[in-house]
């Protein structure tokens, strides 16, 4: 492969920026403890007592890690959080999932966790807002509601004993997602926020909707695709009726935002509306498609982040 | 008696590099198979006589209904291990008589035994972790390679394990000397070529002939041995004990190197 000199330079710049990010710019206020399996977790005094959290084991009275990751402590509860693990559902999480199959009275949903999640027919609202009649016809119509391979948003209602999630979509804001793209990122990059539905103002008066699922699945779509689903009195819409042409300008915006999210995954930064917008603003003037492929762009993003972090550190020092 | 799967020439240096390094007798890299949850590649020895193993880990994921019927408990997960040998893994004519299927089953069983007690099965109830090992080149000491690569791949996949499982092989020579075996490509190049994979039978042509070998799978920080596999004649119990201790020491060193990679 022939690599031009400029590309080579950009690649080197990106690599060195990444290097300096990992070595120098970790915020000094947060001390990151990194452990590997089998290691005794530092700073845990066995005589004072501790609570064994996820990713740890007790062996001969000592607390040891079972995964490689960062140590997290909440009072006496010590857990080790792996950087790139599968999603572990928790009650109340907003998730985006893909329907894997329809079985009797329930959908099996892939939410990037160890087990498939379950969405029961009794825990969804009809799009029309009508009360559901519990009859056979209703069950037969399940595929009209959500079909296999549909992408849906839902909330974790409860957890089964084996850690599988029981979902519900009993609000008008949950349901099938359309007119957008699904981007998959590492679940540990998504923080639990009060609000997971966001409308990003990418240009004055132009909005792109983003649904940041706690499971690392992120839906980027045109306005109204994920949020503000209005309960209407119409009959439940079929797929075909929902198919609306999204114009080219909007599609470009969607792809650009989606690529910004992929950039965040690539450089392992938290995915938040602010971080997406910051990447989006920096990407202005670059083709949406070359956001991911341009090393120069990634280098600039990382350098800016280093700048920002060192500045906050200096500010903290001054205070 | 199952054929022992070590050559008598093994090596003790462990190096993990990102780049190919001709001087290293062990080369381990992570993530060679990107669509798996975690994977590792290991090469033991260098030059023409190497053992090359790819290990990929998939999951934890939901069990297939078949597996569920057979053996899945509601409280624990399952570890599904399989080892496959490439048809070109054995190069010498002598080994062509060996039934590849038998070797695969034998290695699968041994590796499963080594991994027992290492993976925290309670952490993924009703789910399965698949460990798929492919041996591309088999020139001795496959079990050690399998253990090291599998342990790294499991950690890379963030499967909960009790410790970094390591394995080392120690041998006893005819004159009774017990040692962690050296880099066979340096010391016994000519001999190892003629004798490699002779179905595990002890070589007669080797100048530094080993009459017994022991592979120890050991968790150095939890200080627990998961498997000991000994073949050959040891003379007396002390020799075996000495070899095992030597191998355990080796494991401790290896664990430090692997730890640095994570």
Give yes or no: residues A187 and A38 share one domain: no
| Cα distance between residue B219 and residue A193, in whole Å | 40
Give yes or no: residues A131 and A241 share one domain: yes
Which of B245, B234, B184, B226 is CA-nearest to residue B6? B184
pLDDT surpasses 50 at B189:
no
Between residues A116 and B65, which one has the greater pLDDT? A116
CATH number, domain containing residue A186: 2.40.50.140
Q: Sign of torsion, CA A30 A188 A167 B64?
A: negative
Domain range for A41 is 33-82
| Cα distance between residue A145 and residue A152, in whole Å | 10
B154, B59 contact by CB (below 8 A) = no
Give yes or no: residues A183 and A45 share one domain: no
Residue A311 counted as domain residue: no
Cβ–Cβ contact A171 with B under 8 A: no
| Cα distance between residue A122 and residue A120, in whole Å | 5
B220 contacts in A (CB within 8 Å)?
A: 38
Cβ–Cβ contact A266 with B under 8 A: no
pLDDT, residue B149, reads: 94
A37 contacts in B (CB within 8 Å)?
A: 155, 160-164
pLDDT surpasses 80 at B10:
no
Q: pLDDT grade, residue B16 (50/70/90)? A: very low
Residue A307 counted as domain residue: no
pLDDT, residue A156, reads: 94
pLDDT, residue B70, reads: 56
Give yes or no: residues A67 and A110 share one domain: no
Give yes or no: residues A122 and A41 share one domain: no
Burial class (CB within 10 angstroms; exposed 0-12, middle 13-18, buried 19+) of A253: buried
B41, B149 contact by CB (below 8 A) = yes
Residue A87 counted as domain residue: no
pLDDT surpasses 90 at B192:
no
| Cα distance between residue A63 and residue B79, in whole Å | 24
Q: How high is the mean pLDDT of chain B?
A: 76
- Of A99-103, B8-12, B183-187, highest mean pLDDT: A99-103
* Least confident window among A98-102, A239-243, A305-309: A239-243
* Least confident window among A253-257, B10-14, B210-214: B10-14
CB contact under 8 A, A38 and B221: yes
The residue assigned the tokens 């997960």 is: B77
Give yes or no: residues A70 and A104 share one domain: no
pLDDT, residue A316, reads: 67
Percent over 90 (pLDDT), chain B:
26
Pairing assessment for the beta strands B127-137 and B78-85 based on DSSP bridges: parallel
Crossing angle (nearest 10°) for helices B142-156 and B100-115: 50
pLDDT, residue B15, reads: 43
The DSSP letter of residue B123 is: G
A38, A64 contact by CB (below 8 A) = yes
Give yes or no: residues A67 and A143 share one domain: no
CB contact under 8 A, A64 and B164: no
Q: Which residues contact A175 (CB under 8 A, 6 or more apart)?
A: A124, A125, A127, A152, A153, A169, A229
Q: Sign of torsion, CA A172 A158 B63 A121?
A: negative
Give yes or no: residues A76 and A209 share one domain: no
Q: How far is CA B78 from CA A149, B15, B52, B82, in A?
A: 28, 32, 26, 13
Give A226-243 pLDDT, tens digit per residue: 554 443 434 445 555 566
Between residues A28 and A310, which one has the greater pLDDT? A310
Contact pairs from chain A to chain B, CB under 8 Å? 72
pLDDT, residue B93, reads: 47
Domain boundary residue, one of A20, A52, A82: A82
pLDDT surpasses 60 at B196:
no
B186, A90 contact by CB (below 8 A) = no
Smallest Cβ distance to A162: which of B59, B125, B220?
B125
Give A3-36 pLDDT, tens digit per residue: 577 777 777 777 777 777 666 544 444 556 788 8
Which of B210, B259, B260, B209 is CA-nearest to residue B230? B210
pLDDT, residue B200, reads: 38
Give yes or no: residues A68 and A103 share one domain: no
CB contact under 8 A, A36 and B262: yes
Domain boundary residue, one of A59, A82, A105: A82
Residue A242 counted as domain residue: yes
Residue A1 counted as domain residue: no
Give yes or no: residues A56 and A197 share one domain: no
Give yes or no: residues A136 and A267 share one domain: yes
Q: Which residues are registered as beta bridge partners of A77?
A: A51, A74
In angstroms, the separation between the Cα of residue A34 and the nearest Cα of chain B is 9
Give yes or no: residues A264 and A188 share one domain: yes
How many CB atoms are closer than 10 A to CB A229?
A: 18
Residue A17 counted as domain residue: no
Domain boundary residue, one of A82, A111, A140: A82
In angstroms, the separation between the Cα of residue B226 and the nearest Cα of chain A is 14
CB contact under 8 A, B259 and A64: no
Cβ–Cβ contact A59 with B under 8 A: yes
pLDDT surpasses 90 at A119:
yes
CATH number, domain containing residue A48: 2.40.50.100
Q: Testing the interface with B: which of A37, A61, A117, A216 to mutate, by most B Cβ within 10 A?
A: A37
Burial B198-230 (b: 16+ CB within 10 A, else e): bebebbeebebbbbbbbbbbbbbbbebebbbbb
Phi/psi of residue B128, each to 5°?
-130, 140
Q: Sign of torsion, CA A40 A44 A49 A52?
A: negative
Residue A55 counted as domain residue: yes
Residue A310 counted as domain residue: no
CB contact under 8 A, A82 and B158: yes
In angstroms, the separation between the Cα of residue B163 and the nearest Cα of chain A is 4
Give A144-189 pLDDT, tens digit per residue: 888 898 999 999 999 988 788 999 988 878 888 888 899 999 998 8
Give the count of domains, chain A: 2
Look up residue B171 and give its two tokens. Answer: 């041998």
Look up residue B188 and give its two tokens. Answer: 């016994």
| Cα distance between residue B4 and residue B109, in whole Å | 13
The DSSP letter of residue B119 is: B
| Cα distance between residue B85 and residue B197, in whole Å | 13
B53, B60 contact by CB (below 8 A) = no
pLDDT, residue A166, reads: 94
Give A44-97 pLDDT, tens digit per residue: 777 777 888 888 888 888 888 998 888 888 888 888 888 888 888 999 999 999
Element housing A259 (H / E): helix A248-266
Q: Spell out the domains of chain B, with CATH numbers in brackets.
A: 26-261 (3.30.230.70)
A19 contacts in B (CB within 8 Å)?
A: none
A56, A80 contact by CB (below 8 A) = yes
Percent over 90 (pLDDT), chain A:
20
Cβ–Cβ contact B40 with A under 8 A: no
- The residue-averaged pLDDT of B117-141 equals 87
């Amino acid at each position: 492969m022939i690599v031009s000199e400029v590309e080579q330079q950009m690649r080197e710049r990106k690599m060195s920026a990444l290097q300096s990010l990992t070595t120098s710019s970790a915020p000094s206020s947060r001390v990151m403890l990194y452990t590997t399996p089998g290691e005794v977790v530092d700073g845990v005094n066995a005589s004072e007592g501790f609570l064994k959290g996820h990713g740890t084991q007790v062996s001969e009275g000592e607390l040891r890690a079972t995964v490689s990751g960062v140590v997290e402590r909440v009072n006496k509860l010590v857990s080790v959080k792996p950087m790139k693990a599968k999603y572990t559902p928790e009650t109340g999480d907003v998730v985006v999932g893909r329907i894997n199959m329809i079985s009797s009275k329930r959908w099996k949903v892939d939410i990037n966790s160890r087990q498939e999640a379950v969405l029961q027919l009794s825990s969804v609202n009809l799009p029309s807002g009508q009360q559901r009649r519990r009859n056979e016809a209703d069950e037969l119509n399940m595929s009209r509601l959500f079909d296999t391979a549909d992408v849906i948003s839902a909330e974790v209602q409860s957890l089964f004993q084996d850690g599988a999630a029981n979902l519900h979509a009993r609000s008008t804001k949950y349901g099938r997602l359309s007119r957008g793209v699904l981007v998959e990122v590492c679940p540990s990059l998504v923080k639990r926020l009060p609000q997971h539905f966001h409308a990003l103002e990418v240009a004055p008066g132009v909005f792109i909707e983003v649904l940041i699922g706690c499971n690392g699945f992120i839906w980027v779509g045109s306005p109204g695709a994920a949020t503000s689903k209005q309960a209407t009195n119409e009959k439940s819409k079929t797929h075909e009726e929902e198919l609306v042409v999204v114009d080219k300008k909007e599609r470009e915006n969607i792809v650009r935002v989606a690529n910004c999210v992929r950039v965040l995954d690539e450089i392992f930064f938290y995915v938040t509306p602010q971080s997406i917008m910051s990447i989006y603003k920096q990407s202005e003037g670059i083709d949406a498609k070359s956001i991911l492929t341009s090393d120069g762009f990634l280098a600039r993003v990382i350098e800016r982040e280093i700048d920002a972090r060192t500045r906050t550190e200096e500010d903290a020092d001054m205070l | 008696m199952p054929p022992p799967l070590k050559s008598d020439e093994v090596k003790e240096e462990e190096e993990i590099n990102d780049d190919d390094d001709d001087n290293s007798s062990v080369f381990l890299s992570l993530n060679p198979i990107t669509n798996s949850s975690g994977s590792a590649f290991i090469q033991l020895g260098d030059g023409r006589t190497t053992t090359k193993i790819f290990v990929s880990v998939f999951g934890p994921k939901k069990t297939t209904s078949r597996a569920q019927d057979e053996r899945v408990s509601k409280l624990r997960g399952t570890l599904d291990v399989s080892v496959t040998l490439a048809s070109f893994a054995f190069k010498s004519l002598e080994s062509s008589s060996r039934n590849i299927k038998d070797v695969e089953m034998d290695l699968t069983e041994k590796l499963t035994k080594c991994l027992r007690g290492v993976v925290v099965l309670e952490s993924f109830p009703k789910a399965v972790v698949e460990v798929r090992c492919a041996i591309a080149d088999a020139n001795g000491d496959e079990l050690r390679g399998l253990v090291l690569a599998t342990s790294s791949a499991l950690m890379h996949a963030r499967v909960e394990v009790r410790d970094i499982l390591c394995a080392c092989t120690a041998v006893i020579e005819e004159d009774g000397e017990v040692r962690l075996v050296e880099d066979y490509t340096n010391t016994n190049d000519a001999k190892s070529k003629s004798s490699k994979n002779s179905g595990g039978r002890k070589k007669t042509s080797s100048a530094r002939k080993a009459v017994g070998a022991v592979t120890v799978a050991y968790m150095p920080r939890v200080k627990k041995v998961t498997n000991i596999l000994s073949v050959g004649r040891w003379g007396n119990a002390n020799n075996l004990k000495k070899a095992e201790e030597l191998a355990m020491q080796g494991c401790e060193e290896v664990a430090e190197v692997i730890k640095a990679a994570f």
